[in-house]
């Protein structure tokens, strides 16, 4: 079995566009160690015994109940997983955190409490805290003597975090910063004891502060009435002349954006397995319902239209899962190749930053995957899916927040293309050179890849479409390309689909080499062909905005050639996938 340290190749963020990978180069959930599986089993037992029985009351906001359940998880170390041992933590690796995130994704209400505390609430101190700050706060966070929250968003500064108006002014005696302002949509806001608050020192220098609830002038607003995740705590946080000791500045003054964006990267990656966990649960619920519900003299599971839905739900879940775990492997492998002088937390932070674009891809793809899965879940249930007595109705409402969490999907799409463009401009990624090479090719696209491996050819040709499209857009707009948001959105969709295509292909072949993965192989065959069509459409949109006349016709012809492929019998393949799902009554690869 492959382990994280067995994967030899170290690569750079977004280099998959210009590099080739083999199945043994990627990490998949099938490669998790016995220790990782034991973590999953432990969380499963805790969920079944402590969380599941209390979920109805948690969703109805029964006072103190979510915190009571969260306190029980302290005994298992679930609130201390990411905290170093010297501060009372478990010092578990990234895969362990992802395994836990998948289980917590089963319910957005309780999952919100846990994830906000252990993730964006605690990690800023783990990664950026001084030794004194870590000694003071991390043991309390590990034991849940303090509940943590992350206070970045403001009423007039949502996606544009650097437009924050919260002010931090140094007191006359130089011992405190006086904070004034308002934060919005703060998860755990109603109960948190410690907030990572972002404010501008002197109205300009964006800086992070550790603010305790018991500091004078800190208060929370009323619980927000939300569309979904109703049992999580979401409030405004008000700061009225709050005196924060200078030693509670987190990181460097004026460098708060480094903390904000890196913590968001981690949150985006963790959302991937959480949404996969939710999708698997919805799929299992829908399979069981389809096998029980009868119409026109048979169960609806026998209908081709229902089988199509179940299969497509599984296909998209498989792709999202493959992407997320591939990124986990990339980050872990990067950490193992870091310099000996780096500490564990700084290694992980640098590795996550390297793959920030991939983290955004996981977040965007998984969020849109789950929205599809829950929507079809309601459709499979028919009118009952619209009723609050059925779980899919709640999943439908809970899912919608994921396209807003940790930066909207639009902001993340800006990162997906913007990050590699910046690196290419600095000479850190030979992306423009690769794009020029594709643009200068003289051979016919239809003959560009004569390999008998049609699925690998689809991935290769998708990469060529991505590079050609990016090259044409860069020729047209140069350094101003990032200001063309419609073009960037489409380029990001192309890049994301390429990563998705390659990730599912490599994983399916890794599974096949181990003698398994029948559903994975069929899912990959269907998905690759659907994805290349999406890539072609997005490319046509970009090319039509960047050229006209003969140049446009030449480029469109090349893209058609690259996207050309022999179809498969997708109806038969989806029926095969659905048949295996119905037999097992759960998601299976």
Residues designated catalytic: 406
* Strand 176-187 relative to strand 234-245, pairing: antiparallel
**Cα(565)–Cα(454) distance, rounded to whole angstroms?**
8
Q: Which residues contact 353 (CB under 8 A, 6 or more apart)?
A: 262, 265
Count of Cβ atoms closer than 10 Å to residue 523 Cβ = 28
Count of Cβ atoms closer than 10 Å to residue 259 Cβ = 24
Q: Which of the 8 DSSP states describes residue 174?
A: S
**Cα(409)–Cα(432) distance, rounded to whole angstroms?**
25
Q: Which residues lie across from 220 on neighbouring strands?
A: 237
- What's the burial of 452, exposed, middle or buried (CB within 10 Å: 0-12/13-18/19+)? exposed
Residue 130 sits at φ, ψ, to 5 deg, of -75, 170
Q: Which residues contact 79 (CB under 8 A, 6 or more apart)?
A: 70, 73, 114, 117, 118, 141, 142, 143, 144
Q: What does the block give as tokens for 283?
A: 């799929």
Count of Cβ atoms closer than 10 Å to residue 223 Cβ = 14
* Strand 176-187 relative to strand 249-250, pairing: unpaired
Q: Using N-to-C axis directions, what is the helix angle for 108-115 and 65-74, rounded to 10°? A: 60
Q: Which residues contact 571 (CB under 8 A, 6 or more apart)?
A: 304, 308
Residue at token pair 């999202």: 320
**Cα(128)–Cα(121) distance, rounded to whole angstroms?**
12
* Strand 194-201 relative to strand 167-170, pairing: parallel
Of 328, 409, 323, 406, the residue nearest 364 (C-alpha)? 409
Q: What does the block give as tokens for 379?
A: 């459709």
* One-letter-per-residue 3-state SS of 483-498: HCHHHHHHHHHHHHHH
User: Are 510 and 26 spatial neighbours (Cβ–Cβ below 8 Å)?
Assistant: yes
Q: Which residues contact 271 (CB under 8 A, 6 or more apart)?
A: 101, 362, 363, 366, 367, 402, 405, 406
Q: Which of the 8 DSSP states describes residue 390?
A: S
Q: What does the block give as tokens for 445?
A: 């696209």
**Cα(300)–Cα(562) distance, rounded to whole angstroms?**
39
Sign of CA dihedral 270, 272, 278, 280: negative
User: Are 467 and 435 spatial neighbours (Cβ–Cβ below 8 Å)?
Assistant: yes
């Amino acid at each position: 079995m492959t382990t994280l340290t067995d994967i030899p190749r170290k690569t750079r963020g977004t280099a998959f566009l210009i590099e080739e990978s083999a199945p043994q180069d990627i990490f998949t959930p099938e490669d998790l160690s016995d220790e990782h599986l034991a973590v999953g089993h432990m969380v499963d037992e805790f969920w079944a015994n402590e969380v599941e029985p209390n979920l109805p009351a948690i969703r109805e906001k029964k006072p103190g109940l979510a915190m009571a359940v969260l306190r029980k998880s302290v005994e298992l170390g679930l609130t201390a997983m990411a905290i170093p041992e010297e501060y009372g933590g478990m010092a578990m690796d990234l895969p362990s955190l992802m395994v836990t995130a998948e289980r917590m994704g089963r319910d957005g209400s309780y999952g919100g409490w846990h994830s906000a505390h252990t993730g964006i609430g605690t990690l800023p101190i783990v990664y950026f805290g001084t030794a004194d700050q870590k000694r003071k706060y991390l043991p309390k966070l590990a034991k849940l003597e303090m509940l943590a929250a992350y206070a970045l968003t403001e009423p007039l500064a949502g996606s544009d975090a650097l437009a924050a108006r919260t002010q931090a002014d140094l007191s006359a005696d130089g011992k405190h910063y006086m904070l004034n302002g308002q934060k919005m949509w703060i998860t755990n806001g109603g109960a948190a004891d410690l907030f990572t608050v972002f404010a501008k020192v002197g109205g300009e220098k964006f800086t992070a502060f550790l603010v305790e609830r018991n500091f004078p002038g800190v208060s929370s607003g009323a619980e927000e009435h939300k569309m979904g995740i109703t049992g999580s705590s979401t409030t405004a946080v008000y700061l009225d002349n709050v005196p924060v000791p200078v030693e509670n500045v987190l990181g460097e003054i004026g460098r708060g954006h480094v903390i904000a964006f890196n913590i968001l990267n981690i949150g985006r990656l963790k959302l991937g397995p959480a949404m996969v966990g939710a999708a698997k649960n919805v799929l299992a619920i829908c399979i069981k319902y389809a096998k029980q519900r009868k119409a026109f003299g048979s169960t609806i599971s026998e209908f081709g239209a229902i089988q199509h839905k179940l299969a497509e739900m599984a296909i998209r879940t498989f792709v999202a899962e493959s992407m997320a775990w591939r990124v986990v492997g990339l980050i872990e492998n990067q950490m193992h190749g870091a310099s000996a002088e780096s500490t564990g937390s700084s290694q992980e932070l640098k590795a996550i930053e390297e793959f920030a674009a991939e983290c955004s891809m996981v977040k965007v793809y998984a969020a849109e995957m789950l929205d599809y899965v829950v929507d079809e879940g309601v459709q499979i249930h028919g009118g009952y899916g619209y009723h609050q007595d059925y779980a899919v109705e709640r999943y439908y409402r809970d899912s919608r927040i994921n396209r807003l969490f940790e930066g909207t999907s639009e902001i993340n799409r800006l990162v997906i293309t913007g990050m590699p463009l910046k690196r290419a401009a600095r000479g850190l990624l030979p992306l423009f050179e690769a794009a020029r090479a594709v643009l200068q090719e003289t051979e016919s696209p239809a003959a560009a890849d004569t390999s008998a491996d049609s699925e690998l050819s689809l991935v290769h040709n998708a990469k060529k479409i991505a590079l050609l499209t990016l090259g044409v857009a860069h020729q047209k707009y140069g350094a101003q390309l990032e200001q063309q948001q419609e073009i960037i959105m489409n380029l990001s969709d192309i890049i994301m689909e390429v990563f998705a295509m390659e990730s599912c292909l490599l994983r399916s072949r890794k599974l096949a080499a181990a003698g398994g993965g029948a559903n994975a192989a069929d899912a990959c065959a269907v998905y690759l062909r659907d994805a290349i069509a999406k890539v072609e459409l997005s490319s046509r949109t970009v090319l039509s905005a960047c050229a006209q006349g003969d140049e446009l016709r030449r480029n469109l012809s090349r893209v058609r050639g690259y996207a050309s492929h022999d179809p498969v019998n997708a109806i038969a393949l989806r029926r095969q996938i659905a048949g295996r799902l119905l037999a097992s009554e759960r998601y299976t690869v």
